[in-house]
Amino acid sequence: MLEILEVDSEPPLCVGLTYNLKKPSVPGVAQDDQAEYDSMGTVLAIKAALEQLPCRVTLIEADESLPDKLIANKPDIVFNIAEGRNGRGREAQVPAMLSFLGIPFTGSDETTLCVCLDKALAKKLVAREGIKTPRFRVIGSGSADKGRVGFPAIVKPNAEGSSKGISNMAVVRDASSLRALLRRNLALYGQEMLVEQYIPGREFTVGMLGNGRDIRVFEPMEIVYLNQNSPDRIYSFEVKQNYQKLIRYDCPADIPASLRQKIAGTALKIFTLLGCRDFGRVDFRLSPAGELYFIEINPLPGLAPGYSDYPMLAAFDGLSYETLVQGVLRSALKRLGLRPAAEV
């Protein structure tokens, strides 16, 4: 009897969980230096969610020995949250390695991750499809490209996330403050800066889960800034650190159905045109004149339980953290034709 059971039952799916952990802060380094990386708490929460399926989950830190670890113990699929190390294409480093080794993985592929982490590049592709995005210029340490942005403008590193490099001083109103901020940021962040038309007004973020016809677009969430007297309302690093006091999350956002449809439809169009897969999150601003502006897309949105926006969006739509994480894996498996979702 035991023998028959062993022959009949499939072995559990082996999932490798790739990640980069936050390192202890170093004196003299910017406070937001480690902002994009994950805590062990997030890694363990994802592991626990996947093990409920059930799956066998192996933790794989994405360090220099990653190729050796993957070759020695090849998983059936990788659940990837690794941000990578160094450079504009860092989010693509682990997916590129997985593609090289022929290991399937969750989330967008390396090309999409590269394009989306470069905010200016993603904006150019989105603008070509007639979707509004704030006017911008990319400024490097040596040269500046052409184009008029005007004031007020917001200055942010071109290839970051988690509000890294976006302090409460990021909005400038004249040329001398712009020059001073650029000088400071170019030295501090060692990468090109995006100078962008500042869009006052309301802010929304939208999450997506799945692919093709099975895609689910979560209700748009509004980030409401509580200090209405502050001149600039931005989701800065300081605001994210102190979100309980400074902002309120309204989900579903208090907007008419037509605007809701416009935001959700535009988010889906952007997700699709940039070739995103399985999950993602898009940020928008709505100008006082009612024009919707694409700010950025996150094909690898943070999954920190109780902190990141993406699990919050899912929770407002009735999805527990565990169901969301399992949903990302199920979407990838279905897309890959690896195992019917119901059997996982």
Ligand X SMILES: Nc1ncnc2c1ncn2[C@@H]1O[C@H](COP(=O)(O)OP(=O)(O)O)[C@@H](O)[C@H]1O
Residue 296 in the binding site for ligand X (CB under 6 A):
yes
Beta strands in the chain (DSSP E): 13-19, 55-61, 77-80, 136-139, 153-157, 171-172, 193-197, 202-209, 216-217, 221-225, 247-250, 279-286, 292-298
Alpha-carbon gap, residue 198 to 325, rounded angstroms: 34
Binding mask 155-194 for ligand X (x = CB under 6 A): -x---xxxxx-x----------------------------
Residue 309 in the binding site for ligand X (CB under 6 A):
no
Beta carbon of residue 296, minimum distance to Mg ion (angstroms, whole number): 5
Chosen residue from 114, 154, 325, 328 binding ligand X by CB under 6 A: 154
Residue 327 in the binding site for ligand X (CB under 6 A):
no
Residue 321 in the binding site for ligand X (CB under 6 A):
no
Q: Is the Cβ–Cβ distance between 209 and 315 less than 8 Å?
A: no
Residues 6+ positions from 301 with CB-CB distance below 8 Å: 207, 279, 280, 281, 308, 309, 310
Alpha-carbon gap, residue 309 to 315, rounded angstroms: 10
Beta carbon of residue 88, minimum distance to Mg ion (angstroms, whole number): 17
Beta carbon of residue 196, minimum distance to ligand X (angstroms, whole number): 4
Beta carbon of residue 334, minimum distance to ligand X (angstroms, whole number): 28
Instruction: Work out what residue 218 binds among Mg ion, ligand X, none; the CB cut-off runs from 5 to 8 Å by kind.
Output: none
Instruction: Work out what residue 118 binds among Mg ion, ligand X, none; the CB cut-off runs from 5 to 8 Å by kind.
Output: none
Residues 6+ positions from 226 with CB-CB distance below 8 Å: 245, 246, 247, 248
Residue with smaller CB distance to ligand X, 160 or 278: 160
Where along the sequence are the contacts to Mg ion (CB under 5 A)? 283
Beta carbon of residue 163, minimum distance to Mg ion (angstroms, whole number): 7
Alpha-carbon gap, residue 71 to 55, rounded angstroms: 20
Q: Is the Cβ–Cβ distance between 217 and 310 less than 8 Å?
A: no
Beta carbon of residue 295, minimum distance to ligand X (angstroms, whole number): 5
Beta carbon of residue 203, minimum distance to ligand X (angstroms, whole number): 5
Alpha-carbon gap, residue 185 to 134, rounded angstroms: 20
Binding mask 120-139 for ligand X (x = CB under 6 A): --------------x-----
Using the structure block, give the residue that is written with the tokens 């007004």.
201
Q: Is the Cβ–Cβ distance between 181 and 168 less than 8 Å?
A: no
Strands 247-250 and 279-286 turn out to be unpaired
DSSP-assigned states of every residue in 9-34: SPPPEEEEEEE-BPPPP-TTS-TTTT
Residue with smaller CB distance to ligand X, 12 or 201: 201
Instruction: Work out what residue 222 binds among Mg ion, ligand X, none; the CB cut-off runs from 5 to 8 Å by kind.
Output: none
Gyration radius (Cα) of the chain, Å: 21
Other CB atoms closer than 10 Å to residue 231's CB: what's the count? 9
Residue with smaller CB distance to ligand X, 164 or 334: 164
Residue 283 in the binding site for ligand X (CB under 6 A):
yes
Residue with smaller CB distance to ligand X, 163 or 308: 163
- The tokens of 242 are what? 């102190």
Q: Which residue's beta carbon is nearest to the bound ligand X?
A: 235
Residue 210 in the binding site for ligand X (CB under 6 A):
no
Instruction: Work out what residue 134 binds among Mg ion, ligand X, none; the CB cut-off runs from 5 to 8 Å by kind.
Output: ligand X
Residue 106 in the binding site for ligand X (CB under 6 A):
no
Contacts with ligand X by CB under 6 A lie at 134, 154, 156, 160-164, 166, 196-199, 203, 234-235, 283, 285, 295-296
